[in-house]
Structure 1
Amino acid sequence: MSAKNESSIWSRVPMKKNLRWKAALILVIVAGCTWSFYPPNEKIKLGLDLKGGIHLIMKVNTIDALNAVTDELVDNLERVLDDESIAFGNIEKVEPGKLVVSGLEANRGGEFRTIIDNGYPAWDVRSLGASDFELEMRSTELALLQEDTVTQAIETIRRRVDALGVAEPVIAPHGDRGSQILVQLPGFDDVARAKDIIKSTAKLELKIARSMALSEDQLTGGLPLPPGTEIVPGVADEAGNKMYYLLERTPVITGRDLKNASSGIDNQTNRPDIGFTLKPEAAARFQTATRENLGQMLAIVLDGSVISAPTIEGVIYDRGQITGNYTTEEAYDLALKLRSGALPASLEYQQELTVGPSLGADSIRSGITASLVGLATVLLFMILYYRLSGLNAVVALLLNLLILVGALAYFSATLTLPGIAGVILTIGMGVDANVLIFERIKEEMRAGKTPRTAISAGFGKAFRPIFDANFTSLVAAAILFQFGTGPIQGFAVTLSIGLLSNMFTAIFVSRFIFDAVLGGRRQVEALSI
């Protein structure tokens, strides 16, 4: 097409030159929003209340992490003091985050303080006498440990949930106490399995076992435990009986040393088992430990219980096997948990809610019905009351909804039942802006102004009230999002997007329609409003 022909075509379009870029902008937004949410079944994420699934709120027992850190410090100090040839009587954990070193060798207190200051800066040292010292974790480090524990728990849970194949899960901090986690699993209905996979600490340790017996007394003979050892119970059998094991306290391998873990079938027993491979540095350590302990038992400790203790019959390098009375699903889930890593602390369930898929479908149906009825009623009123100008409001309102849905899809926002309520509220607020503009135009026309002048004045005078109303509503929505829970946040998100799109459609698009329709006429005597 030649430039001359193109120019002649544009000259016949009843549109001012500055309307062309507005038309192009509106078309781009319409196309972009349509592309964002199409197909809607794939692009629009549904919340738990619409899709069905599991809602869990749990508390992270951060005291467990503090306990573990304190125990680790006790072990490390015993080793360091021995390496430095500093004699001591005892190192005792008084409570989580606090321990006492007693009977320290005379005149070695300064060296001890230097060891703590240089190697363990998170701990304060206080003298209890000439040879006794108290160590306590600093308050700032304690707060950081609690925060890190919750963060690690969230990441571990996320890895486990992702391995389950749950689409669009929600795993996030919850509440203002800093130790709660919210987990939502849309479309997942096996509550017992979900809780087991999420809550299980899955702390794996492989330790050398010195002996085993039917009771703790038989293991110790009434004598104190040998240094560096501990007693760990085994898993009870079907009759409720269990063995007790005397283990070396320091593990040969932990769950952090695993390179991979997968479920399979044991060739000898034809029962499900879990095979694992080790990282290179752990494999070398494992090889040395098994070579030095041939004929001894290797206890496999999971979450504080010995699940099996096979005899080391040969040197093992980088592979191992965990056997037990597992079903196929249990073996798969245990391998999943081992791959995901151990939780840094135990979890305590505080709230549980299951939403069935049928209830979610009913909610969607009811929400869509309410939205359509509300939309149809509003559109009918606008056309009957404002006549042809009402069609202007109809176009603006439909575009408002298109932008709202497109934005939800583009930003991967989750649509919830309260979110549908936000859509319905957006319809009302969008019409409210058009009503305010139209009434202003009618007032200007009654004052004797021409339609074009009345339209310009009406939009100008209505802008400030519309802006103020939408701005204050946005502030309220921001507060709801900041301090509300999931459903309230869903309402706030939908309302915020609706308010912003309402400003665009009611003021920009509606004014464009008036200017486009009236732009080609030299004189406009009347306006259908």
Structure 2
Amino acid sequence: MNQYPLWKNLLILGVVLFGILFALPNVFSQDPSIEVSAARGHEVTEATPDEVRAVLQNVGVPFKAVEPLAEDKVLVRFPSSGDQLRGQEAIEAHLADRYNSALTLVADLPGWLRAIDAQPMYLGLDLRGGIQVLIDVDMEAALEQGLERYTGDIRSLLRQEKIRYLTVMNDANRVTVKFGDAETLDKGRKLIDREFRELEFETASDGKNFDLYARLAPAEEEQLRDFALQQNITTLRNRVNALGVAEPIVQRQGERRIVVQLPGAQDPARLKEILGATATLEFRLVDTEGSVQDAVEGRVPVSSRLYYDREGRPVLLKRSVIVTGDQITNATSGFDQNSGTPAVFVNLDSRGARRMREVTTENVGKPMAVVFIENRTVTEMVDGEPVKRQVRTEEVISVANIREPFGRRFQTSGLDSSEEAHNLALFLRAGALAAPIQIVEERTIGPSLGQENIDQGVKSVVYGLAAVLIFMGLYYRIFGLVADLVLLTNLVLIVAILSLLQATLTLPGIAGIVLTMGMAVDANVLIFERIREELRNGSSPQASINAGYGKALSTIVDANITTLIAAVILFSFGTGPVKGFAVTLSVGIFTSMFTAILGSRAVVNLIYGGRRLSKLAI
């Protein structure tokens, strides 16, 4: 009685060894490091590590190693966090015009662990540090874009109903429609009022000019502002998720600002680049009737805007936008089959596809331009100090004649590189920003800021675990020592699974681990008390062991299932650290059931199984 077959013992031993192997990376120290990547228009070459090494040596900053990484990056390891911060200052002071730098932590693992891709857990922003940015949403631009869309929609409506107008323009926070006579003005107002009830109208007529003014109603303005903020939150979250950041926090702050926290980032330099640069596309018809030369000299037609292509050549485009980035449902990068140049393949929603089909049908043979719009942060040296500023780029990347009507799917080329095509596709696929954004505050939180939290968290686990181990050993004797052994194994398995999942460990996550330790002990207490009860009832030691584990099983399962339901609810409705707590708690429930039921039973079987016993040390 009380003996496991060999295969079950080997299975339990294999799980334990597997847990030890993948929990081991968390034992090794992590080097404060800097990731160096190329700035826009530059690239990391074979000489870059030597450049970085020379800069650090010239300013006297000690470092452990400068080594190239995959994906055109260079990793610099430092002995301490202080040296890391001094190294970043030196790199930014001497190489900021060509390279980006960002703080990170990199585990100092031996080669055989790296060979099996064993990695430590990520640490959250409260433990490891990371990047936190405060983003301001340009609400004025959001309203301007809304009026621009209404301008195009009103123009299309009047054309569709064959109502003659002189011009439709977005002017002074309102849409102005000019008509030739009072009768047409009255007819146009009734039509527009019926189709656009969210606008407020007023008319002006002096016998020569017959104008209709349309403004956004206050409720519509508020709705546009709220939509812009919520859309930008969704877009930024999608972009960060697409880059594989573990448990990012993207949340609203006030009326027009967004806080983004990026804990445990694997590629901080790229994350800052993605958040600091926003890109989208606009499709516009080329103004073939206006004079480009006159526009360059300042005489731009009212219905047109002057742009420049990437070669610096002026291009005169219609002010009316055919399709904007918020109507793009999907985008992938690739290469043009004819020219072999980088391209982005675009899919439109039904509204955008209908609009594109209408415009291309009416303008076959005429040129259409693709405008690339990007907002990004650049670093410039001013009086020997790096200064960051916002730069907005609007440039024409492609002008081509419309050969035949098209709608939902098409491609655009004219991009500089495949990397730019990949980034643009990522931006468009994640969703267009409903309004321009500006990073008004950026904090790169160094790992040293979280060391105190790490120390306190580790102490809480160690002290709690030690107290439980001592109590169990004194109160339940041999069985208590077995519980202590499986409790330590449970902790190892939790760490191993979190490492395999590459989960982010935060202070609430540590609280989840401590709670799991208590629950794991509770399961053993139920089993041991049941064994004691069976012994008091006169059962033999072997029968008491068998009954203790068998009869306590249903109670243990019921208790853990109810806790698991609570953890699932927390994960479903919680955000950020709450999800981290739910993940560690859920993992701990499964590991504690494995160790408390199967693990401790296997050890007890090895000690007492198949023997004649007169009493038990419990």
- TM-score with structure 2 setting the length: 0.54
Report whether the alignment pairs 1:249 with 2:319: yes
| Counterpart residue type for residue 319 of structure 2 | R
CA RMSD of aligned residues (A): 5.9
Contact 1:64 1:346 in 2 (8 A): yes
> CA distance change for structure 1 residues 95 and 478 in 2, over 3 Å: closer, same or farther?
farther
DSSP 3-state at the match of 1:249: strand
> CA distance change for structure 1 residues 176 and 381 in 2, over 3 Å: closer, same or farther?
same
> CA distance change for structure 1 residues 361 and 449 in 2, over 3 Å: closer, same or farther?
same
Count the aligned residue pairs: 453
Match of 1:406 in 2: 496
Match of 1:330 in 2: none
- The 5 A counterparts of 1:48-67 are 48-49=124-125, 50-56=127-133, 58=135, 67=144
**Pick aligned residue for 1:86 from 147, 150, 163:** 163
> Which ranges in structure 1 are unaligned for 5 or more consecutive residues?
1-13, 117-122, 233-244, 262-275, 292-297, 311-317, 323-332
Match of 2:49 in 1: none
Q: Matched residues in 2 for 1:469 and 1:59: separation?
A: 47
Report whether the alignment pairs 1:496 with 2:586: yes
Report whether the alignment pairs 1:27 with 2:103: no
Give, in angstroms, the shift of residue 52 of structure 1: 1.9
Q: Matched residues in 2 for 1:278 and 1:306: separation?
A: 22
Give, in angstroms, the shift of residue 466 of structure 1: 3.6
Match of 2:576 in 1: 486
Q: Matched residues in 2 for 1:290 and 1:476: separation?
A: 56
Give, in angstroms, the shift of residue 527 of structure 1: 0.5
Structure with the bigger percentage of strand: 2
Q: Matched residues in 2 for 1:133 and 1:409: separation?
A: 61
Give, in angstroms, the shift of residue 335 of structure 1: 10
Contact 1:433 1:466 in 2 (8 A): yes
| Counterpart residue type for residue 72 of structure 1 | R
DSSP 3-state at the match of 1:54: strand
Q: Matched residues in 2 for 1:475 and 1:259: separation?
A: 39
DSSP 3-state at the match of 2:515: helix
DSSP 3-state at the match of 1:51: coil
Match of 2:607 in 1: 517
Give, in angstroms, the shift of residue 500 of structure 1: 2.4
**Pick aligned residue for 1:184 from 245, 262, 281:** 262
Report whether the alignment pairs 1:46 with 2:116: no
Q: Matched residues in 2 for 1:480 and 1:259: separation?
A: 35
DSSP 3-state at the match of 1:345: coil
DSSP 3-state at the match of 1:86: coil
> Which ranges in structure 2 are unaligned for 5 or more consecutive residues?
27-106, 108-117, 203-210, 308-314, 335-340, 347-362, 376-389, 397-411
Q: What is the CA deviation profile of residues 364-398 of structure 1, one whole-angstrom value per residue up to 9, with x for unaligned ones?
A: 44433443343344323322332211222123212
> CA distance change for structure 1 residues 288 and 23 in 2, over 3 Å: closer, same or farther?
same
Contact 1:19 1:512 in 2 (8 A): no
Higher relative contact order (CA 8 A, sep 6+): 1
Match of 1:528 in 2: 617
Q: What is the CA deviation profile of residues 107-146 of structure 1, one whole-angstrom value per residue up to 9, with x for unaligned ones?
A: 988x979x98xxxxxx7799989x989899999x989998
Match of 1:240 in 2: none
| Counterpart residue type for residue 524 of structure 1 | L
Report whether the alignment pairs 1:346 with 2:346: no
| Counterpart residue type for residue 436 of structure 1 | L
DSSP 3-state at the match of 1:43: coil
Q: Matched residues in 2 for 1:61 and 1:398: separation?
A: 53
- The 5 A counterparts of 1:130-169 are 150-156=233-239, 162=243, 168=245
Give, in angstroms, the shift of residue 51 of structure 1: 2.4
Q: What is the CA deviation profile of residues 173-216 of structure 1, one whole-angstrom value per residue up to 9, with x for unaligned ones?
A: 5479999574405368989x976752444457798865579xxx
> CA distance change for structure 1 residues 466 and 306 in 2, over 3 Å: closer, same or farther?
closer
Q: Matched residues in 2 for 1:471 and 1:448: separation?
A: 33
> CA distance change for structure 1 residues 19 and 307 in 2, over 3 Å: closer, same or farther?
closer
- The 5 A counterparts of 1:377-388 are 377-388=467-478
Q: Matched residues in 1 for 2:199 and 2:434: separation?
A: 29
Contact 1:48 1:355 in 2 (8 A): no
